[in-house]
Chains A and B, each alone.
Chain A
Amino acid sequence: MIAFPPFFGAGSLCLTPGREQCRALHREEILLSQSASAGELCSIPALLARNVREYGNRPAYREKEFGIWQSWTWGEAADEIRAMALGFMALGLERGEHVAVIGRNRPAHYWAMVAVQMCGAVPVPLYQDAVAEEMAYVLDHCGARFVVCGDQEQVDKVIEVQDKIHHIEHVLYNDKRGMRKYDHTHLHWLHDIGAEGRAAHARFEPELDRRTAELTWDHTCVMLYTSGTTGKPKGVVLSNRNILETARASVEFDHLGQDEEVLAYLPMAWVGDFIFSMGQAMYAGFCVNCPESPETMMTDLREIGPTYFFAPPRIFETMLTNVMIRMEDAGDLKHALFKYFMDFAKTTGEEYGMPRYRTKRSRPTLRRRFRWFYRYAMGIGFALETLVENTVRGFFARLRHPLEARKHFRARGPLLNLYPRPLRDYFNYRTGDVLIYGPLKNTLGLSRIRVAYTAGEAIGPEIFEFYRSLGINLKQLYGQTEASVFITQQPDGEVRSDTVGVPSPGVEVKIGENGEVYYRSPGTFVKYYKNPESTADTKDPEGWVATGDAGFFEDVTGHLRIIDRAKDVGKMADGSLFAPKYVENKLKFYPDILEAVVFGAGRETCTAFINIDLTAVGNWAERNNIAYASYQELAAHPRVLETIGAHVAEVNRSVAEDDILSGCQIHRFLVLHKELDADDGEMTRTRKVRRNIIAEKYADLVAALYDGSESVYTETEVTYEDGRKGRIKATLQICDAAVENPKHKRQEAA
């Protein structure tokens, strides 16, 4: 019966309507839904009302609490939101005011944001792990009178900064724990506010309805603060038009429907989460799932099995590292199977693994059922007939020519190579799916993924290939807060690890003279709050916005490729191009290396700081019986340095291949004694390296890299999570790396 599956496969292959046909179907449906309710849907509260009307009983929000997924339908959520909005009105929330929201992803926080919008005010989500000083700046800048906090930790921070900022009037909190002893004159439990709102509904309802109805395309939807890679955070004002147009375009681009599941686990203050969990969720009407706590994210991911998923490359890297570490520990058979099928999938996954689009009709008609049944039955019948015929023929062949027949059959493999190559591959891939890919995807919680995106940083080609070959439709997009995320994204079937895709629908992209990427779109931000100079610097009168990234369009495919931050791209002393990010990314693709910072602008040679990845290197150390007591000790171990040195040499070799950037080879490097950390200001909250601050802070180390010394003694100030400071002392070894002759020079010499 072994011949069945390929025929099933073949059957389903030709049965599924072509991709083009699917898209056409979709467009029709979306057009239909638009025409049904066009015109009015120009704010998130309006979309909420539509969702209640159309999907009232479908789940809108889920959160795991007390070990169980609690869920709220659109109807229930809208009820809560309305109560909260009435409560805000009762507290005296005015039109156009800013309301800060600080907390981890929880339904109540999303509701609070919508409730604020219903009152005609503007929600301002803030990064919850920011320390009090950072928060003070933002709270002061946005002038919020109301602050919605997640828990005691956030309330404490707000109370701490209240000495300096006097405009905060009411602090609301969601989690009651530990709050009993606080002075409650200006402190309210969010649910009490809801209850008060319900009690006072008669008084405030007409006013609330009026304010909600007033909202237009040009009202501010949300204000988000940039993470501040350079200098102070800026408040990006995004209007309803920005958010909803972008949401509509992206929902249509990826054919998202109301039965998607997403996991909301990225910081609420980040524009991506706002688009995915608010804009798109409201527009398409799908369910937002909130994890139990940040630590349980992976478990929750597995339980929910999202169909639409966004993660920065870091998360995918961590997952892959974990898989590889665990495979090292697995038995021989499992290891061999894993290796065989993963190698196989590298070439075939793209073709056979990708999820197909379902047609959106929920119940197939009787006619279609019959057609399916008929085709499957024909497929099975044909397969059976072939199998029987081959067996019979084979049997007689063996009788007549025993030796030749054996040789013949051996050469053709166990399946007799009865079927053409693609079919065999298909069959093999399906076997792999049952044995390896399926269980692996299930373990990772990615079984049901239809569309997954990664952005923010470059992703390693091996990592990207790994997920793609498993049949996870992982794509890249390029975007920023000022564009309401989407600038370019990769369409299905045109996915590669080194480009960021084609311009998203409705977005115009052009390349400036210095190579900088500019864009113009309906999602382009309105302004920076209270900062007309920056607004004018970034956005010209025609609406073109500078991204600050240097890139170019590929001629053939029309895909955009990003090289580096435009201002980081510099010149070395000999005039050759210096693109630190390009080299750093190559380094970071090694699992052993967590972060790298490359220096070399205006210098003769390039040098680097390297951060080891404690999980990967720690595991390697355990395997090789290397004892270590701390991160610092492991980072300074001679064998670790040796391994890192080998990685650097390999990177140098690959950099030397590139004609333009071959000057960026790393001549000397050191492994840092501490992890770069956002608490010390060395990275942004979105974990991007702050190059200048690092160069300043570790000036002694940079100097040592260039003066030829063998080792350097350093003391570094560190900030603990609770804000206290300490010092780390270390003597760091400086290593020389093997450098290749650039390719073009070699050619000249030859």
Chain B
Amino acid sequence: MTTGALPHTGAPPVLAVRGLTTRLKTRAGEVTVVDGLDFTVHAGETLAIVGESGSGKSMTALSLMRLLPEAVAFNAGGSALLNGRDLLAVSEREMRGLRGADISMIFQEPMTSLNPVMRIGRQLEEVFEEHKPELSRAQRRARAADLLKLVRIPDPERVLDELPHRLSGGMRQRVMIAMALACDPKLLIADEPTTALDATVQAQILDLLRALQAELGLAIVLITHNLGVVAENAHRVLVMYAGRKVEEAPVAELFAAPRHPYTRGLLRALPNPDAADAGPRVPLMEIPGIVPALSALPKGCAFGPRCPVALPACAETRPELRPVGRGSAACLLVTPAEALA
């Protein structure tokens, strides 16, 4: 368990995102998949972006990496300053230089991100060829082996000569992490990095990410749908619903006192074997209905139609984020007074 306290509060953030807005072109017209998102991540800090499918969490990651195909999606506003440089404004060429060097990303399915017919060592060396052309061949190979050691792969020399399919899912994800860290990035975006893995292997990979963060002072944006992963790995949490931030808070505060009804619903929808005794089975809290289509969002609060405590006003007014406690929440029912309580 991590705590909300951070050693870096005074330093400027590694990444400062303001008003990030991404629109997607669909046959039914354009829809806003990420709507005015603000957040910051500091060195050594993990910010979790949590949400269900369609919440816009993965779109956020792809927008920051500028990996969305131009024919399908475009940036419709906002800035993302990585050490002072706006990721959304730099040229495509500059962005290529930044990707893999200053900002890296790992994905859910490592097998699809690795070239199946190229040896692991070769794929790692390619990253150096791209970003550190001054290294000699032997140096590249030595660096590649060091990287595998860094991600705790036993017998790195042997693994360098393996093809990806010979490795287990967990090992492949370690290789992906090694590739992502090859050029000492400041920021790592991890998009559902353990969703495809088994529970025991997921735990190993998350342990590794925490350890690497402590060693390297990485800033991590952890995108996940799994609240358990959030609780055990993040410092701060940002909850997304229908493309918008609905709540942000330090992790301990979010889990102890969730402010937004959607966050509360998510937490209570999970079975909690730690709290359960052998007694009667209490029904899980349901969030009624389904996530609305982005093309047909209600006028007021997007969560309003599913919200158990919605007021008539919620159908009319779209709630703005307002500070509460040490975070913020976008709900008309959240008042600053509650923060004091």
Please say whether chains A and B are actual partners in one complex.
no
A contacts, CB < 8 Å to B: none
